[in-house]
Amino acid sequence: MEIIRILALSGSLREASYNSAAIEAMQVLAPDNIEIDICSIGNLPLFNPDREGERIPSLDKLVQALKNSDGLIIASPEYAHGVSGPMKNALDWLVSGVEFPYKLIMLINTSPRASHAQESLREILKTMSGIVVEKASVSIPLLSSELGVSGIVKNIEMSITLMAGLNEFCAEIERQKLNKRVN
């Protein structure tokens, strides 16, 4: 059984973050052949192009995790109609690297009313040559739900939505791997 390795990032630094809870719930729900590695972006310094090439442990860890992954899951909130600062900061650090281009990406939106940030995030990811897998990207209405990880896992509709997205995502990852093998 081939293992599929996925890196998951939350764009929220909040302790009780719905976005972090959603990716943690996916970690719990995922079958054994899908490893979801959650990497924190909260310790990254503010992006400064002058520091590119410097040894920054939190960045090295993120880059290594991205390099080892077959795909990337992003769950990120909207603040003032924009992408969260921590997520934009993390993406800016990854712009110049070789690890990001052509990476398959699944987006999770935990607040279906938050369309501006999702649209902007898609534009950023496209500009960075990432590939958003639309049929794998899902919305779950977590805002104001008071649900944490176990609440999401126990919520049948939400866990089905998350797992259906993950299945589509992994099918696309398998297709990409097969394409690389035959071409």
**Residues engaged in binding ligand FMN (CB under 6 A):** 12, 14, 17-19, 77-81, 111, 113-114, 143
* Residue 130: both structure tokens together: 């990432």
- Burial of 15 (C-beta count, 10 Å sphere; 0-12/13-18/19+): exposed
Residue number, 145 or 159, with CB nearest to ligand FMN: 145
The least distance separating ligand FMN from the CB of residue 84, rounded to whole angstroms, comes to: 8
CA distance 166 to 29: 10
Query: Where would I find the beta strands (DSSP E) of 76-136?
Result: 78-79, 82-83, 104-109, 131-132
The least distance separating ligand FMN from the CB of residue 90, rounded to whole angstroms, comes to: 15
The least distance separating ligand FMN from the CB of residue 1, rounded to whole angstroms, comes to: 33
Residue number, 34 or 147, with CB nearest to ligand FMN: 147
The least distance separating ligand FMN from the CB of residue 17, rounded to whole angstroms, comes to: 3
Residue number, 38 or 56, with CB nearest to ligand FMN: 38
Selection from 13, 168, 132, 128 nearest residue 76 by Cα: 13
Does an H or E element contain 176, and which?
helix 156-182
Residue number, 69 or 109, with CB nearest to ligand FMN: 109
